[in-house]
Structure 1
Amino acid sequence: MTASADTISYRAILRLAWPASVAASVTPLLGAVDVWALAQSARPLDIAAVGLGSVIFSLAYWTFGFIRMSVAGLTAQAAGGEDEAEARASLIRGAMIGGAVGLALVALQLPIGYFAFELLSTGSEASAETLSNGRTYFDIRIWGAPFALASYAAFGWLTARGRTDYLMAVSVFMTALNIALDYWFVVGLGWGAAGVAAGTLIAEITGFLVAVLFVLSVMKSHGGIAAHWRPDNFWHPARVKRTLSINFDIFIRTLLLAFCFAWFVQRSGAFGDATLAANQALLQLFLFTGLALDGTAIAAETLVGQALGRKKGGARDRVAAKARYVMAVRKTFILAGAAAVAFVLFYWLAGDPLIALLTPEGPIRAAMKTYMPWVIVSPLMVVIGFQLDGIFIGATRATEMRDSMIVSAFIFIPASLWFAGQWGNHGLWAAFSIYFLLRAATLMVWLPRIEKSFAN
C-alpha cells in the first residue's frame, strides 16, 4: 500500500490493520498468560506482586511510547513525500533516544525502585510479601529497558513503511518465547514473580535483535542497506527541533496516560489483595480489547502520515492528499466501530470461560466475575479515542494530543476518588471508563484542524 494509490480500499486497510492488531494485542495477552501461570503455581498471590511491579514499567514504557509514535508519524510523512533519507534519519533519531533513555533507567534503578514502591504502598492494603515480590520483579526486568525502548523506534518505523506484517512477526515471536519461559520458570521451577520478570527480560532482548533484522530487510528493498544515508540530516537543526517538540508533547501526553493506569492499579490496592489481583487480571483483558482495536488506528497513522507527506507538492497534490486523508479517516473509523461491536459480543458470550481459564476457584475469580461487565462494555469506551490517536499521530499533531490528555487526566483523578468512595471498586471502574470517553471527546473537538491544514 503506497501513498500514490488513487483510492484506499477496505481490503488495503485490513492488510495494514490485522497484523497491527495481532501485534498490539499480544502484549496484554502476555499479561494474561502471566496471570494464568502464577495461578497454576504454588504462589497465586504473586499475581498481585506482578501487578504492582509491572505498573512501574507501564508508567515508564508508556511514558516513552512517544518514541514509537513520533518515528511512525515522521517516517510516514517522509515516505509519502518520497524522502528516503529523512525516513532513515527519523529511525536513527528515535533509536538513539530510546537507547539513551533505557540506559538512564538502568543507571537510576535504585532510586526509581525505592520511590515507586513507596508510592505504590501508600494507602494500600497489599501485604508486605506482595510488595517484596513486586520489588524482585522490578529489579530483574529493569535490565531490559534499553532494548525495549530502542525497539519502539523500530516498531514505529516498520509501521510507517506499511510493514505491519513484520511488526506482527516480532511481537508474536516475543510473546511465544515469553510464554514458554513463563511456563518453565513459573510453573516448572516455581520462581513466581521473579520467573515472570526473567522471561520478559530475555524476550525483550531477543525481540530487539529480530526487529533490527526486519528493519534491515526493509532498507534492502528501498535502495539497499547502504543507500540514502546522509549523516548531516540526522542532526539537521530544524528537523531535530521538530522531532524534539513532537516528542516532548507526546511525552507529556503518554506520561499522563501511564499515570492514570498506574493510579487505577494503586487505587485497586485499597480494596485488598484479592480485588487488586482481580483488577490486574481484568485490566489485561481491557488492554487486550483496546490494543486489538488499535490495528485500524495504526493503519490510520500510516495513511494519514503519507497523505500529509503528499501535500508538499502543488495545488493538485494538496487536493489529492486531502481526498486520501478524508477517505482514510472515514474508512478506518467504520472498520474500528465494527470491530468494537464484535468484541462486545465476544466478551458477553465468553466472559465466564475466560475468567475460569485465567484463575482458579476462589476469591480472585469471584471478584473478577463481579467486575467483568466493565470489560464487556470497554470496546465502546475506548474505540473512538484509540482511532483518533492514530489520526493525530500520523498528522504529528502532538500539541492537541497533549492538551486532550491533560484535560482528561485532571478530571479522572478526583472523579475516581469520589466514585470509589461512593460505590467502591465499581466506582473506580466507572471513573476509568469516563476517562476514556473524555479523551475521545476532547480530540474530536480538534480533529477539524488536521483537514484545514491541507489548504496550507
Structure 2
Amino acid sequence: MTPIPTSHSAILRMAIPIILANAATPLLGLVDTAVISHGGSLVDLGGIALGALVFSFVYWGFGFLRMGTSGFTAQAAGAGDDEEVRAAFARALFMGVAIGVLLLFLQVPLRYFALWLLSASESVEQQFVLYWDWRIWGAPAVLANYAVMGALIGLGKTRVLLGLQLLLNGVNLGLDVLFVMGFGWGIQGIALGTLIAEWLCFLVGFKVLLDVLGIGLRESSWPWARIRHARALLDTLNTNTDIMWRTLCLLAGFGWFVNQSAVFGDVTLAANHVLLQFISLSAFFLDGYAFALESLVGRAIGARNRTLFDRVIRVATELSAITALGLAALVFFVGPYAIGWLTPDAQVQAAAQRFLPLAALYVLCSFVAFQLDGIFIGATQSRAMRNTAVYSLLVFLGLSYWWVAIGANQGLWCAFIAYVIARAVFMGLYLPRLRQAKT
C-alpha cells in the first residue's frame, strides 16, 4: 500500500497538480472563445457562450460521480482492499456511462428546456443548436471520466490527473485551430474538436487507470460479485444522490446572489460578476487542498488510524489557511488593477472597487468550508453535506432578505460571506461525530 503523505511539503506536492488541473479547466472555454473570435462571427461567439454555460451546469450537476468515487476509492485503498478499489471505480463508471447515454436519449427535450430558460436572439439560438447537437455526444465520455478522475484522486495520483487535463486542453486547442481556422467549419468545428478531445481524454485516462489498478479489459479481471453487491450499490446511489442535492443547493445559493445583484441594476450586476471571477479563481487553489484531503482522509479512515486522520487534516488546513490569506491579500491589493483590465466601464470599475474588500473577505473566510468539504467527501458522509448545504442556504436566504433591505448590495455581500461561514459552522458541528465514528 502506498504510504500516506503527512508532511507539509508532501501534501503541497500532492495539491499543486490538482490546482494546476483546476486552473486548466476554464482554458477549455477560453480556447473555444479565442478561436471562434478569430475564425467566426459574433453570432458564433454568442452560441459558444450559451452552449458552454449550459454544458457547465449540466455536467456540474453530475459532479457527484467524481466526489463519491474519490471517497469510496480512498477508503478502500486505506484499508488495503484492492478488490473494493476496483469495484468502487466500476460502479461509478457504469453509473456515469448510463447517465451519459440517458442524456443522449433526452438531448432534444433538454435542448428545448435550455433555450426556454435562457433568452437569446434567434440567430444565436440557431448556433447554440448546432453546438449542442454535436457536443452532447460527448456526455458518456465526460461522465465516465468523472469516475476516472475520482478514482485517481482517491488513490492520490494527482500528477496523472494533471496530465489528462493538459491532454484535454492541448488536443482541443489543436483541433479547434484545424477545424475552424483551417477547414472553416465554424461553431460545428469547435463542438467537434471538444467532442473528440473529451472522448480521447476518457479513453487515455481509462487505460492509465486500468494500469494503475493492475487489471485489464478481460471480464475475469473485474470483481463482479463486489460490483453487483446490493448494499454497496445502494450506498453508492445514496451517497451520490445526497451530493447531488448538496450541489444543487450551492448552485441555488450562487444563483440567488446573481439574481439579487440584477435587482440593483446593470452596473451592480456587472461589478458583482467581475468580483465573482476573483472568487472563482481563488476556488481553483483552495479546491486543490480539499481534493487532496478527500484522498488523505479517506485513506486514513480506511486504515482506521485516528492519529493519521488528525494529522492530515491539520497539515492540509494550515496550508489552505496560508493560501487563503495570500489570495485575499492578492484580491485586495491587486484587484483594483485587475478590475481595470476586466472591464473598461468607469461606473462598473467604481462599483467593483467599492465592494472589493468584501470579496477579499469572502476568499479569506471560504477556506474552512473547502477543507470540510474535502473531509466529508473523503469520509463519504454525504448526508451531513446535504443537510448542512440546506441549512446554510436557508441562512443565506434569510439574511439576504434582511440585510439587503438595510444595506442594498453591501448587505447582499455580507449575507454572502455569512453563507460561506455558515457552511463551515454547520459542517464543523458534525466533525467530532464523524471523527469518533469513522476512526
* Shorter-normalised TM range: 0.7 to 0.9
What does residue 326 of structure 2 align with?
A: 342
Partner residue, 1:435? 419
Q: CA deviation at 1:306?
A: 0.9
Residues 1:225 and 1:219: Cα distance change in structure 2 (over 3 Å): farther
Q: Which runs of 5+ in 2 are unaligned?
A: none
Can you give the 5+ residue segments of structure 1 that lack an aligned partner in the other structure? 312-320
- Counterpart selection for 1:161 from 155, 161, 171: 155
- Which residue is 1:98 aligned to? 96
Q: Secondary structure at the match of 1:323?
A: helix
CA change 1:372–1:273 in 2 (3 A) is: same
Change (3 A) 1:228 1:203: closer
State which drifts further: 159-168 or 139-148. Answer: 139-148
1:337-357 deviations in Å (ceiling 9; x for gaps) = 011112123333443554565
- The number of equivalent residue pairs is 437
Q: Is the 8 Å Cα contact of residues 19 and 285 (structure 2) preserved in structure 1?
A: yes
Verify the 8 A CA contact 2:388 2:423 in the aligned structure 1: yes
- For residues 5-404 of structure 1, the aligned pairs below 5 Å read 8-31=6-29, 52-121=50-119, 137-179=131-173, 197-220=191-214, 229-265=222-258, 282-311=275-304, 321-352=305-336, 354-355=338-339, 361-362=344-345, 366=349, 369-370=352-353, 373=357, 375-404=359-388
Identity of aligned residues (%): 40
Is the 1:275–1:367 Cα contact (8 Å) retained in structure 2?
no
| Cα offset, 1:196, TM superposition | 5.8
C-alpha separation in 1, matches of 2:407 and 2:429: 31
Moved more, 224-233 or 150-159: 224-233
The alpha-carbon distance between structure 1 residues 399 and 174, as it changes in their structure 2 partners (threshold 3 A), is same
Report the equivalent of 1:315.
Answer: none
In 2, are the aligned partners of 1:79 and 1:87 still within 8 Å (CA)? yes
Call closer, same or farther: CA 1:27–1:245 in 2, change over 3 Å.
same
Counterpart Cα distance in 2 of 1:2 and 1:433: 39
- Distance in 2 of aligned mates of 1:350 and 1:358: 12
Deviation at 1:115, TM superposition (A): 2.5
Deviation at 1:74, TM superposition (A): 0.7
Residues 37, 443 of structure 1: alpha-carbon distance in 2 compared, 3 angstrom cutoff:
farther
Q: 1:350 to 1:128 in 2, by over 3 A?
A: farther
Q: d(CA) in 1 for partners of 2:188 and 2:265?
A: 22
Q: CA deviation at 1:151?
A: 0.5
Counterpart in the other structure of 1:453 = 437
Note the aligned Cα RMSD (angstroms): 3.8
- After TM superposition, the structure 1 stretch with the greater mean CA deviation from structure 2, 289-298 or 223-232, is 223-232
**8 Å Cα contact 1:268/1:276 also seen in 2:** yes
- What TM-score, normalized to structure 1? 0.81
* Aligned partners of 1:59 and 1:255 also within 8 Å: no
Residues 65 and 146, structure 2, Cα contact 8 Å, conserved in 1: yes
TM-score normalised by length of structure 2: 0.84
Distance across 1 between alignment mates of 2:295 and 2:71: 7
SS in 2 for 1:64: coil
- 1:94-124 deviation digits (Å, cap 9, x = unpaired): 0111111112122212222323333344xxx
Query: Following the alignment from structure 1 to structure 2, what is the Cα–Cα distance between the partners of residues 382 and 400?
Result: 18
User: Residues of 1 paired with 2:401 and 2:111: CA distance?
Assistant: 25
Structure 1 CA distance for aligned equivalents of residues 309 and 25 of structure 2:
29
- 1:385 to 1:366, Cα distance in 2 relative to 1, 3 A: same
TM-aligned CA distance change 1:284 to 1:244, over 3 Å: same
Change (3 A) 1:103 1:117: same
CA distance in 2, matches of 1:108, 1:30: 25
Please give the per-residue CA displacement for 1:164-206, whole angstroms capped at 9, x wherever unaligned. Answer: 0001111122233445556677889998877765554343222
The CA deviation string for residues 6-32 of structure 1, in whole angstroms up to 9 with x for no partner, is: x72112211211111111222235445
Structure 1, 175-184 or 248-257: larger mean CA deviation? 175-184
CA contact (8 A) 2:340 2:349 kept: no
